[in-house]
Amino acid sequence: MKVRFAVAAAALALGAAAFAENPRGTATASVGGKKVTIDYGRPALKGRGLDELTKKLPADRMWRAGENQVTTLTTEGDIMLGEKKVPAGKYTVYVHAPATGDWSLAINGDQGVALGKIWDKAPANLKDEPWPHLEDYQKSIGGKEVARATMKSGAASPAAELFTVELMPAGDGAATLTMSWGDRTWSLDVKPAK
């Protein structure tokens, strides 16, 4: 347990240091005439390969879809992510990244945990900011998952040094959510719920 805490504390310390390095990103689109926004941290590859990084994921293979504070999806109207309905509201975003097979976007009702509760040396300006659950997603917040939708993988051209999320209009009041990092992309249709 002490080792796991030490690893988590080290990861948080590195994350807090990275906060100043990479600005947060925001992707916004209108879906069915209602605003949908994703706010996220933008980790950099810094010469590392994506496969190298994903090998460090916890056993449940859940990734926080960014860095530092929680990644959030806020929608003013009910939407469909792939075939999964997500009611209007604010959610945290995670990615299930299995060693083989398709990656999935996971939308969770849990709003994260204040950094000051998990790291006693949190900087004053960050101690109340919500941070994602870094381990044991299924045990700690799996029951609050609202939707999980499989994403379509593709190739990024050019490669993206910084993790990037885009919401692009797709016609008929829909949008396409695309996550890019390194030489890969993952995308998903976002439509108004019926």
Task: Please report, for the chain, the start and end positions of each structural domain, with discontinuous segments joined by +.
Answer: 2-192
pTM here is 0.88
**Higher-confidence position of 101 and 134:** 101
Region 56-70 average pLDDT: 95
pLDDT at position 20 is 52
Distance from chain centroid for Cα 136:
16
The pLDDT tens digits for 13-42 are: 444 444 457 889 999 999 999 999 999 999
Question: Contact at 8 Å (CB) between 61 and 135?
Answer: no
76 has pLDDT over 90: yes
What are the b/e assignments for 105-136, b being 16+ CB within 10 Å? bbbbebebbebbebbeebeeebeebebbbbbe
Q: Residue 151 has what DSSP assignment?
A: P
158 has pLDDT over 60: yes
